[in-house]
Amino acid sequence: MIAAPWDKVPPHEQLFVLVTGANSGVGLGICERLIDDFLATRPLSAHLILIPTTRSVRKSRETIFHLKQHLAQTATTSSALRSRAGPDYHPDDTTARVHLLSGLLPVLTWPSFKLARPGAVLNQRPVRSDLVPNESPDNPLAVASAYDTKPSSPVLGEVFCANVFGHYVLAHELLPLLSRESADLSPGRVVWTSSIEPLARHFRLDDFQGVETEGPYESSKRLTDVLALTSHLPSTRRISEKYFTPEEEETAQRLPVRPSFYLTHPGVVASNLFPVPFPFILFYAYKFALYLARWLGSPWHPVTWYGGAVAPVWLALQDDETLQELDAKKIKWGSAASVTGRAEVKKTEVEGWGWEGAVEDRESLARDPATGVLRKVVGRHPQARDLTPDQIVDFEELGCKVWAEMERLRRQWEEFLEIRGGSTAQANGKA
């Protein structure tokens, strides 16, 4: 077997990052910014192994090609890299430290989810050949029926699956890679991407998957907020402990240190997903409106994908000591920007949780030591109300119920797909 290019590099100088939805939008911006910030901040001997995942072979190739071009441009034009390396700097030495691996994850983001209608459930139609890396009879996606309406088939909301559940299951399956032998080692990190939009009213427990609501996207993002912000709490540990434990008993005993969940959002960025004729006209008008909002003082308009990536990349690269000092798992970190476009990472208020899971009144907010756009009151939702202790209790109770339902769904789908039983396909066309 051929050795990997980073095999001789010490483990503490290897950084593995998997990014979902990496072919466009904020996902692509995360990959670009991760390359740039890694090269700017990590030792010149460190290696980045970046795994951008997409839904098709074609998109994977296009993404890798684009990122290689971006890497080459950074290595060639960065004056900071040249100054760090000295007079003997050569761009090839830099590009040799970034390794781009491709991956396909069709089970997370089905092709139509970005324009999913309210009430949509997972479309189990036959899957295009370029979306499934292995169309053997053992692959449940390869034998999906047109619309599986059998009573035995669990309902799975389309946006819920794409934004939350697919990634939730993926992170559990990756526990052997994310868990650690000792607390002395840097723990694995799962960085969730939410949105600036969701409020408490967007999510209902009796419509957990957002199938009945007219805002399934906002519902899934509010669910993401609750799931991530309560993942570390003692009140949810009894429920979440099984999720954070690798399935193989030997692996669980060998790797007892669980990964950490972190929460981010990209702010407001320009999207070209306009299902109308001549979308480029609407796109540029929309983009100008976003810039105008920023010029008028909004901190939540990075506008570009690259700008929207600053918060998740910061969490991926920040050292453990800083994250622990900030108690970063308790905070929703947002990508922000100053009036001049300077990228910032800003704490974001979450309804029912506040900024850090603690009550802060007007007087404490007035004493906020942050400056400029980083002050908590800057960009606060106009309908926001001061947090009460009872609301925090309610939020934690909601977190327990959310974790319980997510675990129930995970076990249900593992049983339905017979994942733990060794067979993942059904002869009658179930998926």
pLDDT digit string (tens) for 143-153? 333 344 444 56
- Flag whether 119 is in a domain: no
Q: List active site positions.
A: 194, 217, 221
Q: Please, is 316 exposed, middle or buried when counting C-beta atoms within 10 Å of its C-beta (0-12, 13-18, 19+)?
A: buried
Note whether residue 9 is domain-resident: yes
Calpha distance 404→399 (Å, rounded): 8
Looking at the chain, the whole-number percentage of residues with pLDDT higher than 70 is: 84
Is 121 inside a domain boundary? no
Q: How many domains does the chain have?
A: 1
Closest to 66 in 3D by CA, of 101, 20, 28: 28
Residue 336 inside a domain? The answer is: no
Residue 49 amino acid letter: I
pLDDT at 125 over 50: no
Confidence of residue 421 (pLDDT cuts 50, 70, 90): low
State the virtual CA torsion across 349, 352, 354, 358 in degrees, nearest 10: -170
Residue range 254-285, pLDDT digits in tens: 999 999 999 999 999 998 766 656 677 888 89
Q: What is the mean pLDDT of residues 393-421?
A: 93
State the chain's mean pLDDT as an integer: 87
Please say if the pLDDT value at position 9 is more than 70.
yes
Amino acid making up residue 220: S
**Does 3 reside within a domain?**
yes
Within a domain: 356: no
Find the mean pLDDT for residues 107-121.
49
Query: Which segment of 2-6, 214-218, 368-372 scores lowest on mean pLDDT?
Result: 2-6
At residue 280, the pLDDT reads: 78
Residue 6 belongs to some domain of the structure = yes
Q: How far apart are CA 305 and CA 288, in angstroms?
A: 15
Beta bridge partners of 48: 15, 98
Query: Is pLDDT above 50 for 430?
Result: no
How much is the average pLDDT of 412-418?
A: 89
Cβ-Cβ contacts under 8 Å for 377 (sequence gap 6 or more): 365, 368
At 272 the pLDDT is 72
Strands 343-348 vs 332-337: parallel, antiparallel or unpaired:
antiparallel
Domain enclosing residue 42, as ranges = 1-105
147/218 Cα distance (integer angstroms) = 25
- pLDDT tens digits, residue range 208-267? 999 999 999 999 999 999 999 999 999 999 999 999 999 999 999 999 999 999 999 999
d(CA 314, CA 26) in angstroms, rounded, equals: 14
Reported confidence tier of residue 375, pLDDT bands at 50, 70, 90: very high
pTM comes to 0.87
Mean pLDDT of 383-411: 97
Is residue 62, in this structure, part of any structural domain at all? yes
Task: Answer whether 158's CB lies under 8 Å from 113's CB.
Answer: yes
Residues 46-73, mean pLDDT to the nearest whole number: 94
